[in-house]
Amino acid sequence: MSGAAFTVDVDLGLSRYPITIGAGLIGDADVFRALVPGVDLLVVTNTTVGPLYLEPLRAALPGRRVAECVLPDGEEHKTQATLGAVFDVLVSQRFNRDAVLLALGGGVIGDIAGFAAACYQRGIGFVQVPTTLLAQVDSSVGGKTGVNHPGGKNLIGAFHQPLAVIADTATLSTLPDRELRAGLAEVIKYGFICDPVFLEWLDENLANLLARDPAALTHAIARSCEIKAGVVAGDERERGRRAILNFGHTFGHAIEAATGFTSYLHGEAVAIGMVVAADLSHRLGLIDASGAQRVKDMLARAQLPTAAPRIGAKRTAELMAMDKKVLGGSVRLVLLEGFGKAVVSGRYDARALEATLAEHFG
């Protein structure tokens, strides 16, 4: 292994797994021997990531039977049909319950491959090998898997924890700038929801992160994983506090759905959603105007979009009502009650929400 690797442990009681973070992990046979069991492996990847990393990954898996499933790239392919294509490969390879799936790619690949592993033969093991910043700090950790439905994002899925997460920070060197910034949106989110000290560090290191300074990226990823692992460990099935991880996401999902999942990267939509949620928090009197402004400024400095598309307040409200965070008819929202402190609430002034939607979505 070239350079130091950090390990963050996710402890969910019944299941426990390591997140290993370091430069050059893909291609390191020792790492994969230690963390990936089984002989029959299926690597699920896409047409962008596969050509870059399938060969070094294969080299790290000597003595295994390694099949490949290369999917088209993009959120628009996170569908039941694509999921079916993964099942078809597993069946055609005659893979059984002891097979292990490797998700090599970003969040879309991780979600599809993880859900395929959850369902194939009622559950086989899988390992996340995230290659985007977003996947390394968010989607590969916590066991949420699934695909989209034409009626909404992630409506079909399962909770299925990986056996391990292997995050190779060297893959970020090939990541387009726009995707790096989209990943930073989730990193900054962790600061907003529960870590003022991390927020200060981010404030000082934003330029280094945008310049892809390896040490800064490694720290940001490890701290993000620690925060997420801690929140998930307390509430794996999102019955309560885990929902704070959805800060900005209810508005963000509505933006993604209204624009067909193609105009905005997930992190970009979440960035806008966080600006909207901060504004609502201010309108509800939870934070002052300067707090909401700091949220917006920090995201703008990370070169993320902060202005919502004019998709209409009514349409936005409808899409939010379809979101999974609705319980018994009222939309639960994640709000800020401080700069570095989020709360989940289903009780708030509906007029403040209406005014916020009108202001941002038109």
Any idea which residues carry the catalytic annotation? 122, 144, 186, 228, 238, 242, 246, 249, 253, 266
Phi, psi at 123, each rounded to 5°: 125, 110
Q: Indicate whether 120 belongs to the interface with a copy of itself (CB under 8 A).
A: yes
Residue from 7, 15, 121, 263 in contact with a copy of itself (CB under 8 A): 121
DSSP state of 326: E
Burial class, 163, CB count within 10 angstroms (exposed 0-12 / middle 13-18 / buried 19+) = buried
Least distance from a copy of itself to the Cβ atom of residue 330, Å: 11
How far apart are the C-alpha atoms of 199 and 195, rounded to whole Å? 6
Classify residue 154 as left (phi > 0), alpha (psi -120 to 50) or beta: left
Q: Does 15 bind a copy of itself (CB under 8 A)?
A: no
Amino acid at 318: E
Edge to edge, what strands does the sheet with 6-11 contain?
A: 6-11, 16-22, 164-168, 125-130, 100-105, 40-46, 65-71
From the list 4-12, 94-102, 173-181, 268-276, the region that binds a copy of itself by CB under 8 A is 94-102
Helices 313-322 + 350-361 axis angle, to 10: 120
Residue 347 makes contact with a copy of itself by CB under 8 A: no
Residue 163 · residue 125 · CB < 8 Å: yes
Give the nearer residue to a copy of itself in terms of CB position, either 17 or 339.
17
63 binds a copy of itself (CB under 8 A): no
Residue type for 232, please?
Answer: V
Question: 3-state DSSP call for residue 134?
Answer: helix
Q: For a copy of itself, which residue of 105, 107, 125, 157 counts as binding (CB under 8 A)? A: 157
The CA distance from 283 to 120, in Å, is 47
Name the segment binding a copy of itself (CB under 8 A); options: 43-51, 81-89, 186-194, 201-209: 81-89
**Interface pick for a copy of itself out of 22, 50, 125, 146 (rule CB under 8 A):** 146
Binding mask 21-60 for a copy of itself (x = CB under 8 A): ------------------x---------------------
Q: How many other C-beta atoms can be found within 10 angstroms of the C-beta atom of residue 321? A: 12
The 3-state DSSP class for residue 4 equals coil
Binding of a copy of itself at residue 144 (CB under 8 A)? Answer: yes
69, 129 contact by CB (below 8 A): no
Query: Number of residues in contact with a copy of itself, rule: CB under 8 A?
Result: 36
Residue 91 binds to a copy of itself (criterion: CB under 8 A): yes
358 touches a copy of itself by CB under 8 A: no
Q: CA geometry: angle at 336 spanning 334 and 342, to 5°?
A: 65
Q: Does 12 bind a copy of itself (CB under 8 A)?
A: no
Per CB under 8 A, does 156 bind a copy of itself? Answer: yes
97 sits near a copy of itself (criterion: CB under 8 A): yes
Q: Minimum distance between the CB of residue 51 and a copy of itself, rounded to whole angstroms?
A: 29
Q: Do strands 333-338 and 341-345 pair parallel, antiparallel, or not at all (unpaired)?
A: antiparallel
119 binds a copy of itself (CB under 8 A): yes
155 binds a copy of itself (CB under 8 A): yes
Sequence length of the chain is: 362
Segment 168-227, which members bind a copy of itself (CB under 8 A)? none
Q: Which of 54, 66, 326, 355 binds a copy of itself (CB under 8 A)?
A: 326
Residues lying near a copy of itself in the complex (CB under 8 A) = 39, 80, 84, 87-88, 91-92, 94, 96-98, 118-123, 144, 146, 149-152, 154-159, 237, 321-322, 324, 326-328
